[in-house]
Each structure stands twice: as C-alpha cells, then as structure tokens.
Structure 1
Amino acid sequence: MNREIQQFKAEFFKALAHPMRIRILEVLCEGDKNVNELQAILGSEGSAVSQQLAVLRSKNVVSGTKEGTSVIYSLRDPLIKDLLGVARQIFDNHLVDAISLLENIRNE
C-alpha cells in the first residue's frame, strides 16, 4: 500500500511540474474557467493551454464540465489551493534564508 501511495504522489507532482500548469491551477483557485478565459488571463495560445489542461485532466488534478460548446475547468480537490499556498510559503522561507545569507556575506 505504501508503494501505491508513493507512486500516486510521484505522478501527482509530475502533473504539477510545469510553470504553465501551476499558473493554470493558481487561476482556477480563483474560480472555474473555460479555455478562452484561461488563455486570456495567461496571455498564451489556446493550444498551449489546452495541452497543459489535458495533462492536468489525465492526472485527475482538474475536471472539465461541458456547458454548451465550452468546457468549464475546475480543481478536482479544493485542497490543491492549500497545497499551492504551502508551496508559496516554502518558497518565501527559502527566499528569506537567501536574503539573510546575502546580508551576512555583505556585513563580513
């Protein structure tokens, strides 16, 4: 069982391992969007956005619901928002450590 969980985690984090996919998730944290809305917000081609959404869908990170001729994308689990927030805190902590180190070097 432990190996299955580790495999799930590895696949999940692989799905997050692209800057555009992270940005898509950050946008979806604010609310559900269709491809055109995501494209406009991200300032990227629709094909690039669609390609990254396909990866996120295949890993069950986002879901799509057909509404008329559009597909509305949303986070499959609201905890993804928390995960991205924690990742941001970790980044901020590393940044604070780096700034502190640079200040110590400068003061020597």
Structure 2
Amino acid sequence: MKADFFKTLGHPVRIRTLELLSEQNRTVSELLAELGIEPANLSQQLSILRRAGLITARREGVSVTYELATPEVAELLGTARAILTRVVSDQVEALEGPD
C-alpha cells in the first residue's frame, strides 16, 4: 500500500496540484490557470488523487472545488521539501569542499 501511495505522488502535475491545494481550496478553473495543462489531463490527475484519498471534491453550483482530504497531506509535502532542501544543501557543501 505504501509503495502505491508514493507511486501516486510520482507525477509532477499531481505534486503541484497538491501544493496548490495545500495553500487553499481551488476550483477546476483556478487549477487549470495555475497548472497550464489541458482540462482532460487535469481531470485524469484529479481522478487519481481522489481515488488515492488525497483530495476531495465539493460541487458548488456549476463549479467543483477541490481540497486536501487531510492536513497531513500538506505536512507530507512540507517534510519532502525539507528533506530535498537538506539533500541539495549537503550536495552543494560536498561540491564546494573544505575551505
């Protein structure tokens, strides 16, 4: 299950979508404007995220608003960012070598 979970996170559009939703709930049109992808592609990625239980959708009139299913999703993204920042920082230090 864990491998499938991380596989779901293994697509740049899905990661960016989750990052945007961690900032605030967004409609499909807002996501399209931010992501700059085709509606069919966004629909597919949102469907994958919904099936994985990472986001939920709420219909409001003619629009659909998406939000993170739990705050832990945003925490996971923040932790991943911190890990990657540390890895890059360590790599830069290794490349610079001792003074």
- TM-score bracket, normalised by the shorter chain, equals over 0.9
Cα displacement string for residues 5-45 of structure 1 (whole angstroms, at most 9, x for unaligned residues): xx2x2222121110100000000011111111100011222
How do 1:1-108 residues align onto structure 2 when only pairs under 5 Å count?
Answer: 7=1, 9-104=2-97
In structure 2, what is the Cα distance between the partners aligned to 1:91 and 1:76? 24
Aligned residues: 99
Aligned-pair CA distance for 1:97 = 1.0
Residue in structure 2 matched with residue 4 of structure 1 by the alignment? none
* Higher Cα Rg, which structure: 1
Name structure 1 gaps, 5 residues minimum.
Answer: 1-6
User: Where does structure 1 differ by over 6 angstroms across 4 or more consecutive aligned residues?
Assistant: none
TM-score by length of 1: 0.86
Name structure 2 gaps, 5 residues minimum.
Answer: none
TM-score by length of 2: 0.93
Aligned-pair CA distance for 1:52 = 0.5
Over aligned residues, Cα RMSD in angstroms? Answer: 1.3
Aligned-residue sequence identity (percent) comes to: 44
Cα displacement string for residues 24-74 of structure 1 (whole angstroms, at most 9, x for unaligned residues): 000001111111110001122211111100100111110111111211100
